[in-house]
Structure 1
Amino acid sequence: MFLSSPSRLAISLFATLILATAGPTVAFAEESKPEIDPTADSRMQAMSKYLGELKGFSVDVDHTIEIQPEEGEKQSRSDKRHVVIERPNRLAVTVADGGESEGTVICDGKQLFAYWPSGQRYLLGDAPETFNETLQEEAALLLGAGRTVVQYATGDWYKQATASATKIALLEPEQVDGVACDRIVVSQQRTKIILWIEQGDHPLPRKMEATLQIETPDAESKLPKQLVSYANWELEPAITDETFAIDVPEDAEQVESLRDEEPSDEGPHPLLGAEAPDCELKLLDGGGQKLADLKDKKVAVIDFWALWCGPCIAALPTVDQVATKFADRDVAFFAVNLGDGADEIREFLEKEKLKLPIALDPESKLGELFQAGSIPMTIIVDKQGVVQVVNIGYGDGLEQKLCDEIEAVLAGKQLAQDALQAARDAQRGGKPIPNGPEAVTSKDAIEDQVAFNLRTSVEAYKKVGSRDDAWDDAAIEFLTEASRHFASAKGHKSQVELIAMAEPLAEQGCDDPLVKYCHGAMLQDGQPDAASQARALELVEQAYHGLVERGYPASRSFAAAERIHRTLKNDASQAAKAEEYLALSEKHALESALQDDLATNDGRTLYSHLNGFAESLPLERRQQFCEAAKAHEEKSPYVVNMLVGEYHLDAAWKSRGTNFASDVTEEGWKGFGEQMDLARDAFEKAWKAAPKRPEAPTAMVRVAMGHSPSPEREMRMWFDRAVEAQLDYRTPYSHLIYGLLPRWHGSHDRMYQFGVECMETNRYDTDVPYEFCEAVWRIMRDNQNPLGSRYAQRPGLYEAVRKICQGYINQGEERKRRLVENGVARIRLLEPAMGGGETPA
């Protein structure tokens, strides 16, 4: 299979150019003679020969595709690459500054390396001996704009570029960046290419323009136009081994194939499981074959290929060998060529000694009928005329795979049904949600928070607290219960109960600042009357100064200062005092960041408290706070980068605004992209520092949703990492459901299937199965859902809700049961007429 985004996107952008320069898209009838200007032809041959013989060179390539919609402004996308070539097989193709695509391909002469940053995957294998062989490797899919340069280096470019030309003409010369150039136009049936070739002894390509040709004259301006410039040529430069050094990123995963690892964005081929189109194949050796005539007699294997397609040429001998193996079986093989001339095909078959029956498709009509959008494509049709297999692309093990599939179809196996079911399962994407007993849950997170609270309260009290035998035991018990309360631990004491524990301590004269702080916090949160609120503020103010003086952990001083600021900030008469405590809160917040211990989960609690405070700041002041936090990045990489990333994420959306994408200004998009890149950098640093904490990958789900060349796949990758860190951390579920909305990167069916996936974890000791209800609720509320509330009548939906409710009831957890019942109530409110649906238990 071809790669999906970003690689699929890059291929779609460069497809026209690559096809135009690598060979014919559609050939013409044999009697059609091309018009060739000898001067133009000579210059093209000279360029091809010159570049094919240079020992080495380097060049910067800028490839831009421009699209003019019927309405709105022109849109463009640019791919910029720096390419270094050295014979016989060394190359380095890297992304240059300002490019919008990605991918690195390096061959050091011994190994071929291709890295895909978004997928954090790479290929590493033996180096091909020639550049032609490199172009046939899967790694070549990541060459982007650099592909044309590698084609030039093969020495075969002229033959490939002119194979299906109908006209080669010389235009008026022009200058490109001050360099005098011959201008040559190469016309094909559907493509026109204009080349600017440097005049003189160095016939270098300086510019290329490719456009599609169609019959409707007023539509040409709306078709994509591709512009390529070649600059900063260096001929036989001083190249060292460092130029081709392979540097494998630490966090990247080596894979056998990017194709196999990546789920297809497009799903199974439309013909899979369907009846094969009724058609007649026109054979190269004369005559024809109707597919319908093979019904009930033979299995048909049809391979779509073309001479310009490197993977096709690599795969065809294997298909030929398989055809020989099944020569005496009920199997008919046909290799349908798309667009090449009969003489060219015969020459190729003779050279390669291939005997495979060839069918001609000069105008690609069969290709369109069988929806062969990517080649090589091989389909297997059973004796009943049903398409059981559709294989796209070429890879290792093709022979065995094809033989096994043919044997299975001959045996009557329904491979299409299995493949379609597998595709439905794969549509979920990503890894299975980790639902085993070893999965980390909120119970573990609460235990971690209790442990942090105990270390910074009880243990701190024992070291620096105001201790006295008269209240020591009671103070420790009170701080222990307060630690459990602040963490919402199961069975924790209420505010009223904690106040009842604190009052005797105050009567005994306990003056410990942390005891006073916890006492004041319980009063403030649990006693709304004016007298209690005034006393609470007084206690917390006294506590703040004592916490600082006695050397309690900075997180405790921060909590007190921030609570005082929060209490005073809306009182105009206390503005100066509120500002004083705001500044103190910022100071202690920065000090608190240094308490993180990457060996524990302390940073999760610290980040939660500090980011809540940071988000309350005005954006400009928040920026200053984050800039100050960066000074502590080395000592506290997780907390600092999380704070910085969250700032940039919010700043990105502020730059963009809440308008529809079509209404966002150019300046808004620019600011959005810049801030998103900064957020990505910060969150990735945080994740690398503490990969077992879920907050960084959770934030990256939002980044991928808004700013990624492969959004759906990357959202799922970061979601997987988040729930691997904590199964029931609810925020990534919410982000992913939102990102799967049709207006973003998914569909209502994807949302529903994700909800089913959550339900099927059967982890009723967590909130995870309930996410099914959240997904349904989102779908029903979405204005792009034409069914509206009637979506609740989807077959099986209420059976699923009943199953979820019963699952929670069986757990005996009242809180979870009420949670789910609230979700069911939401659905009922949207759909008064239940259509006879029974109320879930």
Structure 2
Amino acid sequence: MYAGFGSQRKEQPMNRFHFWGSVILAALTAVLCGGTSAAQDTATAIGLNLPDKAPESSPAEQVSAIMQSMADLKSLSFELLLKSKLTRGDQIRETAINGSARLKGQDKLRLELRSGNEEVWLISDGNVQWVYMPPAKRYLKLGEVLPRAEFMCKAPGGPFEALTTWLADFLHGNLVMLNQAKEIRRLPDEPVGSEMCLVYEFIYDRFTLRALFTRQNPPVPRRLEADMSADLQDSTHGGLNLRLTASTEITGWQPNVDIADDLFSFTPPPDAREEGATKIKVGEDAPDFSLPNASGQTVRLADFKGKKSVVLDFWASWCGPCRMAMPKVNAVANALKDEPVAFYAVNLQETEDIAKRFIEKNAITLPVLYDRDGTVARNYGVEGIPFLVVIDANGKVAWIHNGYSEDLEKTLAQAVRKAIGQQEQIKK
């Protein structure tokens, strides 16, 4: 007999929302919407069985009751359709990802995601966790086994991270998704296709999420919608109207379905390459690259060997922590402008126009390189941004920093000066 999903519940830190910054812990505010009959209908739908004159349950209590119904599941299978839409002025970029999820017991998982020619699998038997990319024949074996809820959030990331993290916490009874909401509201029912659904709205510090559940007993998640636009509406984008939304359609919900254990095991194909083998480490050679700059000229890392150290700041204009970090990187670059070091802001998969607007509006003087397909980022093992690397004049990785920190300007300056000092000693 396998334990249910919720047998070992604990609240996971919300740092998995790193693309939108840390969500500030807030006291749960229960805001009731609708009259007594609506609340009673909801309670009945989710199996609370409230007495006629009992106090109305709050939206948070209603969602918590739905979560409790997941706790005793022995297994679960469902399909996913994730969509995102980024509107930048008159430019629209849309992404669609199809996927399937299989869960068993407390720790087994097989999550397969496909978008065009790209595909990624997350596989866990509870003892070993793998990330496999079939088209590229590359795989990663995690060194530390993560809680399944956290492992589920490793893909697809980007604009979908809020959705996948919320869904993972919901399925595993991690109440953090309730406790860190600034406000939770019960909204009028809405249809998804031909099916009427219960609707709840969760307002977090940097995004808003709507969860739609079927009205069956117990309800199951049918659709999730996240709006991250509020985090983008600031002066850093030069007045450009930005809107970022994402959604997840959930279908084929099959609880307690029979799933063979061998589905959760993985053996790398003989011709597959281990991803971890290419991830950079301090003291090793930095992967060479050739990237275009704003003038269309090609910048090659090899051209700096024996001459200058190089600092790379991987970033994107939609990334909140990147927008906070870049002025600090820019300050270090200006302070060391007379030293033998070259600073570059490596933009990830954005148009030159978008990157240029951000740079000009914020008076950033760092030269920009464009990693249009993300190849260089992958070679450097970039999993989250901002991601900074200091490379000494010998082409060796001297320092690595992932994310934003208040003392970034100080620590980066120290790392660069150390790299410069070492190369000056070699010259002597």
Aligned partner of 1:27 among 24, 34, 44: 24
- The reply to whether residue 54 of structure 1 matches residue 73 of structure 2 is yes
Aligned partner of 1:415 among 418, 421, 426: 418
User: Cα distance 1:93–1:26, how it changes in 2: closer, same or farther (>3 A)?
Assistant: closer
- The reply to whether residue 244 of structure 1 matches residue 270 of structure 2 is no
TM-score, normalised to structure 2, is: 0.52
How far apart, CA to CA, are the structure 1 residues paired with 2:190 and 2:422?
55
Aligned partner of 1:234 among 250, 254, 264: 254
Instruction: Report the equivalent of 1:224.
Output: 244
Deviation at 1:132, TM superposition (A): 4.1
How far apart, CA to CA, are the structure 2 residues paired with 1:47 and 1:183?
13
Deviation at 1:264, TM superposition (A): 9.9
User: Cα distance 1:132–1:263, how it changes in 2: closer, same or farther (>3 A)?
Assistant: farther
Q: Where does 1:170-319 land on structure 2 (aligned, <5 Å)?
A: 170-214=186-230, 222-256=242-276, 259-260=279-280, 268-269=312-313, 275=332
Deviation at 1:198, TM superposition (A): 2.0
- The reply to whether residue 391 of structure 1 matches residue 401 of structure 2 is yes
Deviation at 1:94, TM superposition (A): 1.1
Q: Where does 1:649-688 land on structure 2 (aligned, <5 Å)?
A: none
Instruction: Report the equivalent of 1:90.
Output: 108
How far apart, CA to CA, are the structure 2 residues paired with 1:177 and 1:420?
64
User: Cα distance 1:263–1:244, how it changes in 2: closer, same or farther (>3 A)?
Assistant: same
Letter in 2 for 1:391: H
Q: Is the 8 A contact 1:62 1:80 kept in 2?
A: yes
Deviation at 1:175, TM superposition (A): 2.6
User: Cα distance 1:225–1:418, how it changes in 2: closer, same or farther (>3 A)?
Assistant: farther
Deviations 1:577-630 (A, max 9, x none): xxxxxxxxxxxxxxxxxxxxxxxxxxxxxxxxxxxxxxxxxxxxxxxxxxxxxx
How far apart, CA to CA, are the structure 2 residues paired with 1:65 and 1:50?
29
How far apart, CA to CA, are the structure 2 residues paired with 1:260 and 1:175?
48
User: Cα distance 1:172–1:274, how it changes in 2: closer, same or farther (>3 A)?
Assistant: closer
How far apart, CA to CA, are the structure 1 residues paired with 2:197 and 2:95?
26
Letter in 2 for 1:199: R
Deviations 1:141-197 (A, max 9, x none): 4678694444333320xx222333222111111232433321011112331111102
Aligned partner of 2:97 among 67, 79, 99: 79
How far apart, CA to CA, are the structure 1 residues paired with 2:251 and 2:422?
47
Instruction: Report the equivalent of 2:151.
Output: 134
Deviation at 1:258, TM superposition (A): 6.0
Secondary structure, counterpart of 2:145 in structure 1: coil
- The reply to whether residue 123 of structure 1 matches residue 143 of structure 2 is no
- The reply to whether residue 162 of structure 1 matches residue 178 of structure 2 is yes
Structure 2 residue ranges without an equivalent (≥5): 1-13, 33-56, 292-310, 314-325, 336-382, 391-397, 404-410
What CA RMSD, in Å, does the superposition of the two structures yield over aligned residues?
Answer: 4.8
Deviation at 1:272, TM superposition (A): 6.2
How far apart, CA to CA, are the structure 2 residues paired with 1:164 and 1:272?
31
Deviations 1:1-59 (A, max 9, x none): xxxxxxxxxxxxxxx99739x9974427x7x8735334421232123323343221011
Deviations 1:259-286 (A, max 9, x none): 43995999623656964999xxxxxxxx
Deviation at 1:102, TM superposition (A): 2.3
Aligned partner of 2:123 among 103, 106, 123: 106
Deviation at 1:67, TM superposition (A): 2.4
User: Cα distance 1:135–1:92, how it changes in 2: closer, same or farther (>3 A)?
Assistant: closer
Secondary structure, counterpart of 1:214 in structure 2: helix
How far apart, CA to CA, are the structure 1 residues paired with 2:226 and 2:58?
21
Which of the pair is proportionally richer in strand?
Answer: 2
User: Cα distance 1:125–1:252, how it changes in 2: closer, same or farther (>3 A)?
Assistant: same
Q: Is the 8 A contact 1:212 1:225 kept in 2?
A: yes
Letter in 2 for 1:242: D
User: Cα distance 1:413–1:276, how it changes in 2: closer, same or farther (>3 A)?
Assistant: closer
How far apart, CA to CA, are the structure 2 residues paired with 1:376 and 1:46?
38
Q: Is the 8 A contact 1:17 1:226 kept in 2?
A: no
Letter in 1 for 2:189: P
How far apart, CA to CA, are the structure 2 residues paired with 1:210 and 1:225?
6
Deviation at 1:214, TM superposition (A): 3.3
How far apart, CA to CA, are the structure 2 residues paired with 1:223 and 1:150?
25
Q: Is the 8 A contact 1:17 1:210 kept in 2?
A: no
Aligned partner of 1:43 among 35, 43, 62: 62
Q: Percent of aligned pairs with the same residue?
A: 17
How far apart, CA to CA, are the structure 1 residues paired with 2:24 and 2:277?
32
Q: Where does 1:375-454 land on structure 2 (aligned, <5 Å)?
A: 389-392=399-402, 414-417=417-420
Letter in 1 for 2:123: I
Secondary structure, counterpart of 2:217 in structure 1: coil
Deviations 1:642-662 (A, max 9, x none): xxxxxxxxxxxxxxxxxxxxx
Q: How many residue pairs are counted as aligned between the two chains? A: 280
Secondary structure, counterpart of 2:131 in structure 1: strand
Deviations 1:106-129 (A, max 9, x none): 112332121134553212357837
Instruction: Report the equivalent of 1:757.
Output: none
Instruction: Report the equivalent of 1:65.
Output: 84
Instruction: Name which one, 1 or 2, has greater alpha-carbon Rg.
Output: 1
Secondary structure, counterpart of 1:228 in structure 2: strand
Deviations 1:481-515 (A, max 9, x none): xxxxxxxxxxxxxxxxxxxxxxxxxxxxxxxxxxx
Deviation at 1:207, TM superposition (A): 0.4
Instruction: Report the equivalent of 1:747.
Output: none
Q: Is the 8 A contact 1:272 1:389 kept in 2?
A: no
Secondary structure, counterpart of 1:105 in structure 2: strand
Secondary structure, counterpart of 2:211 in structure 1: strand
Deviations 1:177-231 (A, max 9, x none): 43332101111233111110222422211101111253979x9984011111111
User: Cα distance 1:39–1:228, how it changes in 2: closer, same or farther (>3 A)?
Assistant: same
Deviations 1:452-481 (A, max 9, x none): xxxxxxxxxxxxxxxxxxxxxxxxxxxxxx
